[in-house]
Structure 1
């Protein structure tokens, strides 16, 4: 019996990458994507810091405006309603930003999220970021804590993700779902969904 479902946000619940969308609006999209494509010498933490540094000086009001308009993945509403009808607790665990995740939580009826904050001062981004999901293993560590707090076993947890930093939460979950994911995550999943429609998960489970 699944009691908790943990979702990644970017390219899972949301159709796109928040950092890329913000960077494109600020005219530094190519620089940020270059780090993504050429970050073999950087770990997750270092890459995140470098990407956010390019947003220095961006209007925080603009960030919040963009966050409210991030496109949810096709099928997000239906999947979340289905899981809630089964009394499953919904949580977001993301290396992304609360500025985009908080509006999505309200729309989808999520219970809680663990993510990161873009630091701002005097209404402008400082190029700094901090929060709960700053490292490659952060999602796994957070799930370990949740299991203790909520008195849950691994087999009572399902998770949905697409990227390398989701491997850590896969290791703490009973039902692992890779959604349009990279090959490594798919190799560790129980279910692989390769159509950009979260309703496919309803069919699979």
Structure 2
């Protein structure tokens, strides 16, 4: 199988770093894609050659990934929201307004590492928010939520190319609705917080959208588009994203917890989200800069 060894960075990629990594992987020639990216054909490359390239870049903020050349262009993007498309975990920021951020953040971190059942962990955290005015959600949105670097460029570029884009989150619809609009997603799904008399009740309206629901959303969208999961790319950061990342043709871990990073087809530890366009073979002149 012919693969492309793709190097991406958050800043201009030096010729020296690129040459060293490609040589370590046994690539005879390489080409620059953009100031921050380069690639080489890697016929029959295996994990050992990829790890050799990564080892050669150990002192550089550069990501190295192998992607099959065949089927590189995808028809569907499914993305997690918290700590992926946006820079924060919304539930932790809501908890800050409720005065319980340390307790909630500790559970969030354990859940994202895969140490806790997601449904139970979400129920436990939301219970601590009981009584918080619903207006606090708007304050979190205005003051705390920011798109991750490259997110809007990624989503709007793929949308312009006819790729279906979907945001799917174990967070809350209050935020996915706004983030989807800001980044350019065609659809969004998340959990719903119960509100009564202008305050959070401390309950999530069932069913809870967790790990398996994300995979099911991927399957449903593939069915709607009449495509195979191999034609989808999924990206996330935590254990809750594991099932959809494993099911997609290209599963990507973005600055991820070890459980997801080890299972994903590709890892973006340094690059911004627009690097995913290089992995998918989208030429920079086709990007919608945002």
Secondary structure at 2:259 match in 1 = helix
Paired with 1:143 and 1:38, the residues of 2 have a C-alpha distance of 25
Aligned partners of 1:62 and 1:36: how far apart in 2?
19
- Pick from 140, 145, 164 the counterpart of residue 215 of structure 2: 140
Distance 1:188 1:77, change over 3 A: same
Count of residues in Structure 1 that have an aligned counterpart in Structure 2: 205
Offset of 1:43 from its aligned partner? 1.2
Query: What's 1:15 paired with?
Result: 87
Matched, 1:33 2:91: no
**Runs (5+) with no aligned partner, structure 1:** none
Matches within 5 A, 1:18-167: 18-37=90-109, 42-69=116-143, 70-130=145-205, 133-167=208-242
Using the alignment, how far apart are the partners of 2:237 and 2:115 within structure 1?
Answer: 21
- TM-score, structure 2 length as denominator? 0.66
Q: Which structure carries more relative contact order (alpha carbon 8 Å, separation 6+)? A: 1
> CA RMSD of the aligned region, Å?
1.9
> Where does the alignment leave 5 or more consecutive residues of structure 2 unmatched?
1-72, 281-290
How far apart are residue 34 of structure 1 and its match? 2.9
- The farther-off stretch of 38-47 and 107-116 is 38-47
Name segments (4+ residues, structure 1) moved above 6 Å. Answer: none
Aligned to 1:6: 78
Give 1:184 shift.
Answer: 1.9
Larger Rg: 2
Structure 1 position 200, deviation (Å) = 2.3
Q: Which of residues 196, 199, 202 is equivalent to 2:274?
A: 199
